[in-house]
Chain A
Amino acid sequence: MHDLTLAEMCDGLARRAFSSIELTRHLLARIAAANPRYNAFITVDEAGALARAETADARLAAGDAPALCGVPIAHKDIFCTRGLRTSCGSRMLDNFIAPYDATVVERLAAAGAVTLGKTNMDEFAMGSSNETSYYGPVKNPWAPDCVPGGSSGGSAAAVAARLAPGATATDTGGSIRQPAALCGITGLKPTYGRVSRWGMIAFASSLDQAGPMARSAEDAALLLQAMAGFDERDSTCLDRPVPDYRAALDQPLAGLRIGLPAEYFGAGLNPGTARAVRDALAEFERQGARLVDIRLPHSDLAVPAYYVIAPAEASANLSRFDGVRYGHRCANPRDLRDLFMRTRAEGFGAEVKRRILVGTYCLSAGYYDAYYHKAQQVRRLIRQDFLDAFAQVDLILGPTCPNPAFAFGAKGGDPVAMYLEDIYTIAANLAGLPALSVPCGLVDGKPVGLQIIGNYFDEARMLAAAHGFQRATDWHRRQPEALAEAGA
């Protein structure tokens, strides 16, 4: 049953081939058995999931079931869930239970989805390997000695290991696409403002965007359909109609103009990854798409600009964790200063502290212009690069990451080497553009992701392109050998 795609599960539930309770029990049992191995979940909500499944079955029986009625999913532990702990991967929020649901959680619940639990992540979404989680790293189901990517590594591993057909995730600099690529699944970061950020714990507010992770573009479309839309509680959420993503999936690829940025195929790209991406591009061409060489001249500035802007915003966003109102508080503070300092020293891990320090520095008097202001100027240049490119092409394709999954600890001593793993994903966040990753090959038995960047609010076209590719290929159906051998 766990091998079914999310769309197939919807179908089976609607046909009453199986009940939501059966499906939910089955996945809960898989999680119980597999989570010690993958560490994909921080919190599993067995009682809540079964209660929701029961409600879903009643609605399915009554015939008034919404789109995702009875389908179990997982939420990244960055989304607030009423009554269920939301840790954000941090000791700081190890005891935090929100009195509200994130809009994303609320909408998926309204669509009938059943929440299995909360998935592991890099602390406050800061990381590309899931090694910064207070709850320990997530293991990549394809290679247990390798990272799953980050920060949404728990959601990616849960989907790849067939513990859930789909999961929510967030992407600030590649946190959906990079783990999707490294775990061989499909992940979509929508246009900034497409999905509400209400109830999603902020890392870098101007870059953060929620999106779906699933095994196929079709499944991602189903999840995005429920997640997207205007929310007056988020002032940066745009009030634009949400198209029918699933209905748009069958648009043909013929005639599509696909831009290939020279900057995404240069030095630093793993040759195996490059080969897999080239092969995928050939498939697009075979289906009638036209490949166009383009330039994104300011690409090399994306990582430095990002590592000014994101930490700057984070340094303020994370100030609220002060031990006064909720979350971790140090024992027996001597005075106010001691309360603030020790609470934060104990509550935050090393990477979070590093970014708070960098961000605070960049905003300091005398440095603001040289760093923050300059980075904002770079950001506008990067956006302009894309606007110029989209005047010539419909989509931009390239690798999601320079390399397949790397071993635990491989980049632990060198934060900059880690940051460079996001070299192809960060620009889309700076520009606010939608981007997705689909599996397009294996290198040394580890998955490779193809990135599709679209114009603003062009998610339907991107999903259709991904779907067209997936209809002709089977990379998205591959599963880790360990799973196959376990008799999946």
Chain B
Amino acid sequence: MNWETVIGLEVHLQLATRSKLFSGAATAFGAAPNTQACAIDLALPGTLPVLNRAAVEMAIRFGLAVHAEINPISVFERKNYFYPDLPKGYQTTQLARPIVGPGHLDIELTDGGSKRVRIHHAHLEEDAGKSLHEGFHGLSGIDLNRAGTPLIEIVTEPDLASAEEAVAFAKKLHAIVTALSISDGDLSQGSMRFDVNISVRRPGEPLGTRTETKNLNSFRFMERAIHKEVARQIDVLEGGGRVIQETRLYDGDTDSARAMRSKEEANDYRYFPCPDLLPLQVDAELIERLRATQPELPEARRARFVTDYGLSDYDAGQLAGDTATAHYFEAAARAAGDAKLAANWVMGEIAARLNSAELGIGQCPVSPEQLGGLLRRIVDHTLSNAIARQVFEELWRGAAADADSVIEAQGLRQVSDSGAIAAMVDAVIGANAQQVAAYRAAPEAKRPKMLGFFVGQVMKASGGKADPRQVNELVAARLAEDA
């Protein structure tokens, strides 16, 4: 018996504004507790909110990127509930009239096709603070640094049919918001958090009862949590039970989930328009100005990489998807003067090293300029690939400012002096009479393979510095001419 999975996402995206949604306090992450909360964030009596224009512009930029309607009038409302890290006793958010209306985002499927995922709306809201439950001897600590940080909540239609599609959507969203520079996209710091609404049904039947798994902060956790919840619901239904509408919490460390609260216990949030904020009016002029200055989005960038750099569609997709990687690649390609070589290194050596060191491209110890400088020395035959990797190692360690100084200091310049190479070739041929005889006796078809032995010996003698192309030619010539 087969089941269909129906998934909708709610994504909380922290906007990369310098100050908060309704106050001038800074939003930088990691400051000492309660040092980035001003009187407004603390909800001292008499304080009032003033909307951050930058956050509004970022929300509009997002809306434009997902082909959404930007609502000319949107309204902030108060969502009322008591919690110690919610200073006002309400969250200022948007409900009935959000700033971003319906839109869509296309994702690529593993079979090479694509799928359109509808976005129901996206709205602006403020984040709450944090409750800290450890280190207070049985009490809870409150850190209000995050209180008032601007978020947009992006709500999709239930258009996703699998964990893989959900992750593909999340990654695409991540690529777009980082390309727009409206979020730092740092999932580990909670800049992007996913709530996943999941239900299953038999094909052709109406939607099943859904559950909501909250606050997933990595693509991997999201994928695992969905697989787990889908399996659980199928188990329940196949066992003759029914799925209860509830909110669930997934713990990535133990790969397990538990019910947090059922719908029956849900709060009545008593939303009503916030009387401290007038309806937000966005005029067409602002929308057009933002449209005209939208940064390049991953899809357009991918096409450009194919035409401008001659990359394959696959390689272009790999490099264009993540804005930081794309910028790194383009800077390295400029410095190297060879885009394809730069692409290979960024996707190869750099990606592998970052991966094993668990670093993002932003933390890469080798700058794109340094990498480009190194690659330039491959292009002009100063370095062989093997030696280039050796130089890269020095740059990665931070031992040198650029490739040229490593080459200079360690005498790694590739030997391209044909006299010196010829002498080494002669020495190798002289020292290996048996192999030379065997080579000469061998049929033509077998010779190229046997040639490798001599080339290897010469390279070894040169300490790897000989230009392998040159060595190849000289060895072949010498063996042929004495025959």
A interface vs B, CB < 8 Å? Answer: 79-80, 86, 88, 93, 96, 98-100, 102, 197-202, 204-206, 232-236, 312-313, 315-316, 318-322, 324-326, 336, 340, 360, 363-365, 368, 372
Contact = CB atoms under 8 A, between A and B. Distances in A.
B21 to A, nearest CB: 12
Nearest to B24: A233
A199 B277 contact: no
Contact of B46 (A202, A313, A319): A202
A96 B42 CA distance: 14
Given A80-B45, A315-B270, A319-B82, 17 more contacts: A202-B46, A202-B276, A206-B275, A235-B50, A235-B51, A316-B89, A318-B89, A319-B90, A320-B43, A322-B89, A324-B142, A325-B42, A360-B270, A363-B272, A364-B270, A368-B270, A368-B272
Contacts, number: 100
A205 B275 contact: yes
Contact residues of A: prevailing secondary structure: loop
Contact of B48 (A88, A197, A319, A372): A197
Given A99-B44, A100-B39, A205-B276, A316 B50 contact: no
Given A233-B50, A320-B89, A364-B268, A325 B43 contact: yes
B84 A324 contact: yes
Interface in B62-83: 78, 80, 82
Interface of B: 39, 42-51, 78, 80, 82, 84, 87-90, 142, 268, 270-272, 275-278
Given A235-B48, A235-B49, A313-B275, A99 B39 contact: yes
| Most chain A beta carbons < 10 A, residue from B42, B84, B275 | B275
Contacts of B50: 232-233, 235
A170 to B, nearest CB: 11
Contact residues of B: prevailing secondary structure: loop
Contacts of B46: 79-80, 86, 98, 100, 102, 198-202
A246 B84 CA distance: 49
A363 B80 contact: yes
B88 A235 contact: no
B133 to A, nearest CB: 12
B51 A319 contact: no
A318 B268 CA distance: 17
18 contacts: A86-B46, A98-B44, A98-B46, A100-B44, A198-B48, A205-B276, A232-B50, A233-B50, A235-B48, A235-B49, A235-B51, A235-B276, A315-B270, A325-B42, A325-B142, A336-B84, A364-B270, A365-B270
Contacts of B47: 198-199
Contacts of B272: 312-313, 316, 363, 368, 372
Nearest to A204: B275
A308 to B, nearest CB: 11
A319 B88 CA distance: 6
Given A235-B50, A235-B276, A319-B90, A201 B82 contact: no
Contacts of A340: 82
Closest 5 CB pairs of A and B: A319-B89, A206-B275, A363-B270, A205-B275, A199-B46
A290 B312 CA distance: 86
Contacts of A205: 275-276
Contacts of A79: 46
A81 to B, nearest CB: 10
Contacts of B277: 235-236
A255 to B, nearest CB: 36
A268 B424 CA distance: 119
A136 to B, nearest CB: 21
B42 to A, nearest CB: 6
B38 to A, nearest CB: 10
A199 B275 CA distance: 16
A236 B275 CA distance: 8
A320 B45 contact: yes
A149 B87 CA distance: 33
B239 to A, nearest CB: 34
| Most chain A beta carbons < 10 A, residue from B44, B90, B278 | B44
Contact of B45 (A86, A232, A336): A86
Contact of B276 (A99, A236, A318, A319): A236
A88 B275 contact: no
Contacts of A201: 45-46
Nearest to A324: B84
| Most chain B beta carbons < 10 A, residue from A99, A204, A236, A324 | A324
A435 to B, nearest CB: 20
A173 to B, nearest CB: 15
Contacts of A233: 48, 50
A80 B48 CA distance: 13
A294 B317 CA distance: 73
A99 B271 CA distance: 30
A93 B46 CA distance: 12
Contacts of B51: 235
A79 to B, nearest CB: 8
A205 B272 CA distance: 13
A313 B271 CA distance: 11
Contacts of A234: 48
A93 B276 contact: no
B45 A319 contact: no
Nearest to A193: B278
Contact of B78 (A316, A322, A365): A316
A125 B390 CA distance: 77
| Most chain A beta carbons < 10 A, residue from B48, B49, B277 | B48
B394 to A, nearest CB: 54
| Most chain A beta carbons < 10 A, residue from B47, B49, B88 | B47
Contacts of A232: 50
A232 B272 CA distance: 24
Contacts of A320: 43, 45, 87-89
